[in-house]
Amino acid sequence: MNEKEIRKKSKFLSLVLRHQPETIGIELDESGWVDIETLLTSMAEHGKTMSRETLELVVNTNDKQRFSLSEDGMRIRANQGHSVKIDLGYQAAIPPEILFHGTPQQFVGAIAHGGLMKMKRHHVHLHVDEKTSLNVGSRRGNPVLLKVRALEMHQAGFEFFVTPNEVWLTDHVPVVYIEFPR
């Protein structure tokens, strides 16, 4: 299987595990998990056949580690980025001093006015490294790298969570904690 096919399958998994499980008639549990056999059967019934081996290849080779398998290997979920209501159960954590957020240039004005907002997702996504943030920001245009004074936010009472793939989550980043490029 080539990289393009894997990426296409990963995007479909993101769709059904993060945003529209009803597309293939599945339901996520309260923590976002779904039984793998149920997922694969429902996918096949909707013309999206995938083997267990291919599913594991997609999970294990995803550059952003978007998905997790349960400890017993029977269930799968997306690590973050959901627009459907779920509780990922992540514990609050103390963030590093600085985190980064990549965004397309066209959104910088709105961010400078209202800060980083979760919009339709459950949280704002932040990263420890600049490269990942720039990659995220480049998906919809010319990327701009924003620095977030995360530890200062935490000390002011804002909650942060970290996912298994090291994406930092928070509800909102007020403008006062964002450093914009000059």
**Residue 80, exposed/middle/buried by CB under 10 A (0-12, 13-18, 19+)?**
buried
User: Average pLDDT of 102-109?
Assistant: 93
Asked if residue 106 and residue 175 are part of one domain, the reply reads: yes
Please report whether residue 143 resides in a domain. yes
Q: Provide the mean pLDDT of the chain.
A: 92
pTM: 0.73
Which residue segment(s) compose the domain that 7 sits in?
A: 3-78
- Structural domain count, the chain: 2
> Hey, what are 151's tokens?
């530890």
Residue 64 has pLDDT above 80, yes or no: no
| CATH number of the structural domain spanning residue 112 | 3.20.170.30
End of a domain among 48, 78, 108? 78
Same domain, 105 and 169: yes
| Radius of gyration (C-alpha) of the chain in whole angstroms | 17
In the chain, how long is the greatest CA-to-CA distance? 52
CATH number at residue 44: 1.10.10.970
Using N-to-C axis directions, what is the helix angle for 52-61 and 36-45, rounded to 10°? 110
In angstroms, the CA 38 to CA 24 distance is 10
Residue range 120-156, pLDDT digits in tens: 777 899 999 998 889 888 888 899 999 999 999 999 9
3-class secondary-structure state, position 119:
coil
Helix (H, G, I), strand (E, B) or coil at 118: coil
116 — alpha (psi -120 to 50), left (phi > 0) or beta? beta
Together in a domain, 40 and 74? yes
**Do 109 and 180 meet the contact criterion of CB atoms below 8 Å apart?**
no
